Amino acid sequence: MRVILATGFAALLSLSAAGQAVSADMSPIGLWQAVDPDTKQPTGWFAITEQDGTYDGTLVKMFLQPGQDPNVVCDKCKGDRHDQPWLGLQIIRGMKPAGDSKYKDGTILDPRDGNVYDAEMTVSPDGHTLIVRGYLGFSLLGRNEYWTRLPDSDYSMLDPAIKKMLDQSSQTDPAAKPSGH
């Protein structure tokens, strides 16, 4: 009888731990990779961070094509992002939780032309994909990007200056973030 109770208790503990890992994955906090839909090559890594209930996203790694300037700046951006380097630039701002794995009322910047669009994000049910939608006025008039969650260990591949910036800005330390990765 003790063996059956112990086995049942162990099974409940493992289910509880699995449930916690799945729920942790539903947060957008973490490192995400964007891929060019045509070439299927990575275009950038983005760190989604949270501060005071608001979620932001920063470009933390760029995958440049041969001949591309690694020191490109956002010369068409306005405000505090004008002439800032793309690397380390806050692309997503002001996302707020809006229910199960959805985040709304934010904006997304296209650093190529300086345009800022309304935006929303949704974490996929398995927690491995972040659907980022930028739009003009109405969500129907927009476009989705599908970003893939990267393992926490990939933080070690970021430039030390970017890691320091992230550590100072909010809760991006993988050790402080509950995760199943």
- pLDDT tens for the chain, residues 1 to 181: 444 433 333 333 333 333 444 444 789 999 999 999 999 999 999 999 999 999 999 999 999 989 999 999 999 999 999 999 999 999 999 999 999 899 999 999 999 999 999 999 999 999 999 999 999 988 888 999 999 999 999 999 999 999 998 888 754 444 444 344 4
Rounded Cα gap, residues 179 and 181, in angstroms: 5
> What sign does the dihedral 157-159-161-165 (CA atoms) show?
negative
Residue ranges and CATH numbers for the domains of the chain are 28-169 (2.40.128.520)
